Structure 1
């Protein structure tokens, strides 16, 4: 099997794979979002009506016993800021309606931070949490109007954490303190409820947390697919990680009871997730609302707080980039939201190798080059076997042609004769094909590891390559990749006699160059360096084969 056919096989396999993935998940583009300037904490929320009508029913309730909130109550917004996060919290309900990632700019080299959570007209993405319950004294019903002692809470020099406390007391005398805590250097948000029941009756409380987002299609393109939607983990059913898209939510509500677990909303490099206690049985759910929004959340077990006693209820959130090691410490299997697909067992080691090299050279582009050297080095025995097989197959072509001339249209006898010839000459006809097939999973795995790695977002290489996660703005790398592929073709031995097939092979570098124009520059860099290493390996292998009389120049 000659090199040109292998290149065609690579192209067909890779394009087919991407088309399949596009058809499954990434059929529609993400609509353009309006640019909204950051509002000050004293400005009312623009979609405040959406914050009140979506409280889940307590377990066992057949209907939501939730009165409408006081429409005359003003929506006060407070801010909670650490070195990594700036949260905006609405005092009605205590929902996180904005989350700015302070160390991740929206646009490269611009000061405006990336806004993960937002509460804009027609574009809601917020984190809601609260307490629901049963019985006349279960509280707080609806969305409580909390009070605070300040409008902003900022982490100070020398502090490891910062907290914001929200207060609410029912008419019956049950006092609630909702506490948000941020830790320096972390994207973890701790949410704690302190309940003091000073009423005459016990109260039944159930903690819930949910993520609400306006339903919209996954975005991206054929070569830059982006999943936008829900996900959950249910260890009790051996579901460590599973996507639950907006279409899935429309088809049917999520209804899973599991020990521990989590619920999440994904947005390419970023994720928000509620991670309840691993020691309790939680109900995971989703709902599609009439407002065009969807929620995915959890409900903890019901807890009774006796009259005159106190109780603490808590949950944890992650609001930030997909940082695998940090997320794994926050919640079991939360790191799997970095989705490498079905080749995760290859992609994860490749990413760890990439991290190792980057820690040495402090440049993600150079780290990709070193990963390429490592992969090509490991694959060298297969590459050598591939070209050796190709050379042997080329030497057998005259004898194969004789068989075809002898038996004419009798394909069965031609095939039998070829198999006997292969056996006699000790040639494996698949020897040139199998190595390239084994390399395809590595390429696809690396593709997804680069696509899912937030570390490469806005990561510069050198000169004009200032962001390895997007396409080369001047298309230099794709063109060089096409040129290198052309030279690989020229160096490879060929047995193609059909003029049409030969013409197709000639245009393969052009097709690949055009296709790679829109690939992330980090991936094109990998392919270019891989081609350059292949050229060097070809030269070494063919030089050795020439000495044995098997090379392309041998008579």
Structure 2
């Protein structure tokens, strides 16, 4: 038993036990971070009207924008019948060079299709399991002609005197490729509506002006509302293994300084409990929209006030395919009044701006108000933003996002170099006094208190801190997690080609080459660590941990694996150099004493 106690309590084993505890703690921390990013399975609304969508109508949501204003029971059927009587047709197409293109419909003068034209954001795979949905407001079918998740067109609805109106618009003016004016006159209701669309030629925005003109000889009231939606495939919203879903849509609302992001599962949970809407915000709403990990839509108001913002599922009278959910962000504007025709105030112009595109930090922050909160950096935004800036700076000189990740990894390694050197020095010092620690262990094996006292004297005499090897690692963890989050959230890596078999850094390695290589390098790194203790613990560190991390890396984006791989290579090189230098210093000191 004495021998057993010596083996279990020896100084070498204490060092190995600390390493093992640290490794397990870091693994648990990684899993906790992963779980915090993984949403629960999507819950669908009960008793939703469902209908199988016809495969011969691939642009159905683009051709039938839904009214977003809450309608009374008497109004809703009339509005739906009126909308059904208007045959959809594309009446205008606006484009902004090679950036974006929108299509306008006669049906209520709405945007029926909005597509990004840049090659990086195009469709490269029909497999919805492996690719995020492209940014296109139109039905898209993937493998086996299966409908996939996608954004729905933004809609704007009008009410006059409390009644919904749906118009058949015509083009009255166009200027170049990016400006169009649509008009609709309703002689029965005595009103005219003019919509002017201006497509920004250098960004992902569309300026919209809605002019309401009262033709009646009496005062009229009006209400204006907007809606952003997404058709969510519930399978695509579920996480798989260690990878959170790419196609999970969220309802967004920015109220004063409070930002709310609600996925389908959260909204469905409340609606299943009997709540028609979730988190309805009142005064102070600055902007609202819809997003997934890499893309977003948003409404920015220029000369009107938002009355409320709410997230909801479903649409009355609109069928939803089985296995899907319709997610909406509804924005209600402050109502107004129009004076009688011919009088001052008989018309009003409301100005809006739609954003629809990638969640690029530089692009989002130049909007008014800024939309940068939509990028989910978690708790590490203060560190993530400069890291993303450095990646973009590297890309300007070397246009390869894989190289940008490598440069960022090297920079972070250099930044944490003093802490790493301190850690390695502490580990080397502990290795140096291990024979003395063994002697104390043998001498005071029956007196634990005296043994600990002598150990502390030994540490003090040789100026060794047993915790010094752990503290630098703990201090570096926020930096490493911020680097992880930066790469995880960066739309710049979406379909970014590094070279060779890594054609999309936002997706996992298709051949698992980098994860397996990482596992082998981790084994090498563990073998470099000083260890003369319990062989069972050594084997756990050397084999179980690399296998576990390799399994995790199989399902992470290849951009993240590339960062960890480069960081491991740098760590091995630095570790080897530090130990070699330390071994060279010890003989020199011995000769000096002679």
TM-score when normalising by structure 2: 0.78
Q: 1:162–1:462: structure 2 CA closer, same or farther, 3 Å change rule?
A: same
- CA deviation map 1:249-308 (0-9, x unaligned): 231522112335111211221111122238735411223336553321212222222112
Contact 1:88 1:97 in 2 (8 A): yes
Q: 1:511 to 1:247 in 2, by over 3 A?
A: closer
Map of 1:364 onto structure 2: 401
Give 1:257's match in structure 2, choosing from 282, 292, 295. Answer: 282
Q: CA deviation at 1:515?
A: 2.6
CA drift of 1:403 comes to 4.5
Task: Output aligned runs, 1:333-372, within 5 Å.
Answer: 333-372=370-409
CA contact (8 A) 1:249 1:287 kept: yes
CA contact (8 A) 2:40 2:265 kept: no
Matching residue of 2:152: 126
In structure 1, the residue matched to 2:8 is none
Shift in alpha-carbon separation, 1:314–1:271, aligned structure 2, 3 A: same
CA distance, structure 2, for counterparts of residue 311 and residue 98 of structure 1:
27
1:244 to 235, 253, 262: 262
Quick one: distance in 1 between partners of 2:359 and 2:185? 34
Change (3 A) 1:397 1:333: farther
Per the alignment, residue 244 of structure 2 pairs with: 225
TM-fit CA distance, 1:396: 3.1
Alpha-carbon distance change, 27 to 419 in structure 1, aligned in 2, over 3 angstroms? farther
Name the SS for the 1:494 alignment partner: coil
The reply to whether residue 301 of structure 1 matches residue 317 of structure 2 is no
| CA contact 1:4–1:494 (8 Å) conserved in 2 | no
Partner residue in 2 for 1:465? 502
**Structure 1 unaligned blocks of 5 or more:** none
- The offset of 1:168, in angstroms, is 3.7
* Aligned residue runs from structure 1 range 417-432, under 5 A: 417-432=454-469
SS of the equivalent of 1:474 reads coil
CA distance in 2, matches of 1:392, 1:149: 80
Residue in 1 that maps onto 2:70:
56
- Kept in 1, the 8 Å contact 2:62–2:113? The answer is no
2:349 to 306, 312, 325: 312
Distance 1:74 1:409 in 2: 93
Report the equivalent of 1:547.
584
Given candidates 131, 153, 167, the residue that maps to 2:184 is 167
8 Å contact 2:156–2:227 — kept in the other structure? no
Residue 381 of structure 1 is aligned with which of 403, 418, 437?
A: 418
- Is the CA contact 1:260–1:278 (under 8 Å) kept in the aligned structure 2? no
Q: TM-score, with normalisation over the residues of structure 1?
A: 0.83
Q: In the superposition, relative to structure 1, how do residues 170 and 442 fare at CA in structure 2: closer, same or farther (>3 Å)?
A: farther
Q: Does 1:268 align with 2:293?
A: yes
Residue in structure 2 matched with residue 533 of structure 1 by the alignment: 570
Q: Shift in Å at residue 333 of structure 1?
A: 3.7
Q: Distance in 1 between matches of 2:148 and 2:387?
A: 40
Q: What is the alpha-carbon distance in structure 2 between the residues aligned to residue 26 and residue 397 of structure 1?
A: 49
- Of residues 455, 470, 482 in structure 1, which corresponds to 2:519? 482
- Does 303-312 or 326-335 show the bigger shift? 326-335
| 8 Å CA contact retained: 1:482, 1:509 | yes
Measured against aligned partners, the alpha-carbon deviations of 1:404-436 in whole angstroms (never above 9, x if no partner) come to 445547766655554444344322222111222
- Equivalent pairs counted in the alignment come to 526
Aligned-pair Cα RMSD in Å:
3.6
Going from structure 1 to structure 2, the CA distance change for 1:296 and 1:68 (only over 3 Å counts) comes to: same
- Structure-2 residue corresponding to 1:434: 471
2:530 alignment counterpart: 493
Q: 1:417 to 1:211 in 2, by over 3 A?
A: farther
2:169 to 137, 147, 151: 147
Question: Who is 2:9 aligned against?
Answer: none
Q: Deviations over 1:367-421 (max 9, x none)?
A: 1111111111111111100011111122333344444445547766655554444
The answer to whether the 8 Å contact 1:118/1:126 transfers is yes
SS at match of 1:225: coil
Q: Aligned pair in 2 of structure 1 residues 15, 208: CA closer, same or farther (>3 Å)?
A: same
